[in-house]
Amino acid sequence: MKQNKVFKSIFVKLVLIYISISIISFIALGSVFYYFSGDFIYSEKKSMITGSIDGVVSVLQSTYNRNLSTVFPLVNAYIQRTADSLGAMIVIADKDGNIYPSLIKSGIKDSSLSSTVISKFLRGSSGVLKFPDQKQINVIGSDGGTYSEIGNFYDLFSDTGFSWLTVANEFSINNVPEGNVYVFLPVPDLDAGRVKILQIFSLCALGIALLATITIYFVSRRITRPIKSMRVAAQEVVAGKFDKRVEIISGDEIGELSDSFNQMIDSLENLENMRREFISNVSHEIRTPMTSISGFVEGILDGTIPSERQEYYLQIVKNESVRLNKMLNDLLELVSIESGKEIFEAKDFDICEICKRAIVMFEKPIVEKNIRINATYEYESIIARADSDSIQRVIMNLIQNAIKFSQSGSPIEIKVYYDSHKMVCVSIKDHGKGMSRDDMKYIWDRFYKADKSRIRDDAGTGLGLAIVKNIIDSQGLKIDVNSSVGSGTEFIICINNGEE
């Protein structure tokens, strides 16, 4: 349940992170755009107004009669048109700041704004208006450049509640300054354009964010779904069940992880099966001798077995306990090699010597079975490099098998030689019963015995070759087997040449 929440939160986290990133980037982008577009729009508008003022000035120059109170109707109409097209208020004042009301033209949509501004002008005799502040009159410096500002133009716009863009320019007749042309534009009107663009931008951003959120929702689900099913499968494994696998829905890292996860379950299942099989094999192998030991001992104790037969049965009891002991030792050895506890130390040694020693150890069964050992050594002494003790165990196991699975009187050939790659090889070849192809697949498995009905006396436990294989693999060596039913078996091990 707790984990479920975590998975949910991974999903929620992904979506939240995405949404936050989008919001932050949209805000940043919007602000940058709004800020820079402001400057751009102001300068564009300013140059447009300056151009318009130039137009007004040239019209004034062409018709000017040194008396602003009488301006031709044509000029009137031109200035009004200019004001309308700018959406601004145009005021023409003489050099003392006097403004004839007929020379105030407003193109501002909200006409009350113009009235508010006009009410700020001083009212002189015969209806002539005047700028209330001398600074408003003297805006043009001695260089005659265009004046522009954003603000309340020395208190003129303070009653309107917002800033205005003011652009003013002087007009002269025959290079004699005659007065100023002022253009006033409310900043909110100026901003309207970019507010509109910002609105469109926000709408687009919202649409994109919505689309992306839906996409990220499905993408996140695609990511978390396999993780979720991995959790379910993992819980099943914890409960000892191995039948769940994760569905692989993509070829990306998550897909690879799912695949590895499935492989992990496969190998865990394999391991668990091996463990179960191992335990059942061990208990089976132990139970049989234990039952006969306790049965015979009981028979001797309660007199069921007559005294003249007791020695015979005690011999069986002894053999069984020896076999049990051997099995336990083999098992311990196998576990020790598999767990990596047994350390193999590669050293140079004479492999001919090892073979000779091994053959001597089997003298008794060799004589008993009347077996001829033909040992040939390519050189008197051949130096190999590996862990000599474990190699001796391997050779002994192979010789023991060769003797065990040979009929009385049949020969065994042992050959020590260099192969074409200069590896030191030992071949142990018998002419015994041999093995079928099927048996050869399983001989390296623990407890595998081809002939399950083998008589008890020489019955092994099927651990010998498992130990051999482990020793060989642990040292990166090679073992081959050739066998055919009825004609015999050959095991060949190859070891690094010690003299290199």
Ligand X SMILES: Nc1ncnc2c1ncn2[C@@H]1O[C@H](COP(=O)(O)OP(=O)(O)OP(=O)(O)O)[C@@H](O)[C@H]1O
- For 8, the token pair is 């949910």
The correct pick among 401, 406, 427, 483 for binding Mg ion (CB under 5 A) is 401
Helix (H, G, I), strand (E, B) or coil at 495: strand
Q: Where are the alpha helices (DSSP H) in 388-493?
A: 388-404, 437-442, 464-474
Does residue 98 interact with ligand X by CB under 6 A?
A: no
User: From CA 196, how far away is CA 203, in angstroms rounded?
Assistant: 11
Q: From 56-64, 375-383, 418-426, 443-451, give the range in contact with ligand X by CB under 6 A.
A: 443-451
The correct pick among 186, 226, 434, 464 for binding Mg ion (CB under 5 A) is 464
Does residue 489 interact with ligand X by CB under 6 A?
A: yes
Which of the choices ligand X, Mg ion, none does residue 462 contact, using the CB cut-off of 5 to 8 A by kind? ligand X
Q: How far is the CB of 4 from Mg ion (least distance, A)?
A: 54
Does residue 45 interact with ligand X by CB under 6 A?
A: no
Does residue 186 interact with ligand X by CB under 6 A?
A: no
The correct pick among 300, 432, 471, 492 for binding ligand X (CB under 6 A) is 432
Q: At a CB cut-off of 8 Å and minimum separation 6, what does 131 contact?
A: 93, 97, 99, 121, 122, 137, 156
Sign of the Cα pseudo-torsion (461, 464, 469, 474, in order): positive
Between the two ends of the chain, the Cα-to-Cα distance in Å is 63
Residues 402-431 that bind ligand X (CB under 6 A): 402, 404-405, 430
List the x/- string, 321-350, binding to ligand X by CB under 6 A.
---------x--------------------
φ and ψ at 163, to 5 degrees?
-80, 160
Q: From 6-14, 166-174, 354-362, 397-405, give the range in contact with ligand X by CB under 6 A.
A: 397-405
Helix (H, G, I), strand (E, B) or coil at 179: strand
Q: From 27-35, 86-94, 306-314, 444-452, give the range in contact with ligand X by CB under 6 A.
A: 444-452
Which of the choices ligand X, Mg ion, none does residue 230 contact, using the CB cut-off of 5 to 8 A by kind? none
Q: How far is the CB of 400 from ligand X (least distance, A)?
A: 7
Q: How far is the CB of 352 from ligand X (least distance, A)?
A: 22
Q: How far is the CB of 248 from Mg ion (least distance, A)?
A: 44
Question: Binders of ligand X: how many residues, by CB under 6 A?
Answer: 23
User: From CA 316, how far away is CA 54, in angstroms rounded?
Assistant: 130
User: From CA 165, how far away is CA 157, in angstroms rounded?
Assistant: 10
Does residue 435 interact with ligand X by CB under 6 A?
A: yes
Q: Pairing state of beta strands 488-497 and 383-386?
A: antiparallel
Does residue 465 interact with ligand X by CB under 6 A?
A: yes
User: From CA 324, how far away is CA 285, in angstroms rounded?
Assistant: 8
Does residue 300 interact with ligand X by CB under 6 A?
A: no
Q: At a CB cut-off of 8 Å and minimum separation 6, what does 461 contact?
A: 285, 323, 326, 327, 330, 447
User: From CA 306, how far away is CA 160, in angstroms rounded?
Assistant: 132
Does residue 463 interact with ligand X by CB under 6 A?
A: yes
Q: Which is nearer to Mg ion, 226 or 289 (CB)?
A: 289
Does residue 461 interact with ligand X by CB under 6 A?
A: yes
Q: From 193-201, 304-312, 355-363, 399-407, give the range in contact with Mg ion by CB under 5 A.
A: 399-407
Which of the choices Mg ion, ligand X, none does residue 293 contact, using the CB cut-off of 5 to 8 A by kind? none
* CB 189, CB 165: distance < 8 Å: no
Q: Where are the alpha helices (DSSP H) in 67-186?
A: 73-86, 111-118, 134-137
Does residue 363 interact with ligand X by CB under 6 A?
A: no
Q: Which amino acid is present at 300?
A: I
Q: How far is the CB of 252 from ligand X (least distance, A)?
A: 46
Does residue 289 interact with ligand X by CB under 6 A?
A: no
User: From CA 157, how far away is CA 163, in angstroms rounded?
Assistant: 7
Q: Which is nearer to ligand X, 359 or 383 (CB)?
A: 359
The correct pick among 45, 464, 479, 493 for binding ligand X (CB under 6 A) is 464
User: From CA 33, how far away is CA 224, in angstroms rounded?
Assistant: 37
Which of the choices Mg ion, ligand X, none does residue 443 contact, using the CB cut-off of 5 to 8 A by kind? ligand X
Of all residues in this chain, which one has the CB nearest to ligand X in the complex?
460
Q: Where are the beta strands (DSSP E) in 140-296?
A: 147-151, 164-173, 176-186
Q: How far is the CB of 351 from Mg ion (least distance, A)?
A: 20
The correct pick among 82, 136, 401, 475 for binding ligand X (CB under 6 A) is 401
Q: Which is nearer to ligand X, 97 or 460 (CB)?
A: 460
* CB 319, CB 311: distance < 8 Å: no
Does residue 278 interact with ligand X by CB under 6 A?
A: no
Q: Where are the beta strands (DSSP E) in 107-251?
A: 122-123, 129-130, 147-151, 164-173, 176-186
- For 456, the token pair is 């008890």
Q: How far is the CB of 465 from ligand X (least distance, A)?
A: 3
Does residue 432 interact with Mg ion by CB under 5 A?
A: no
Q: Which is nearer to ligand X, 57 or 466 (CB)?
A: 466
Q: Where are the beta strands (DSSP E) in 342-461?
A: 347-350, 372-377, 383-386, 411-418, 424-430
Does residue 314 interact with ligand X by CB under 6 A?
A: no
List the beta bridge partners of residue 180. Answer: 93, 170
Q: Report the interface residues with ligand X, using CB under 6 A.
A: 330, 401-402, 404-405, 430, 432-435, 443, 448-451, 460-466, 489
Q: Report the interface residues with Mg ion, using CB under 5 A.
A: 401, 460, 464
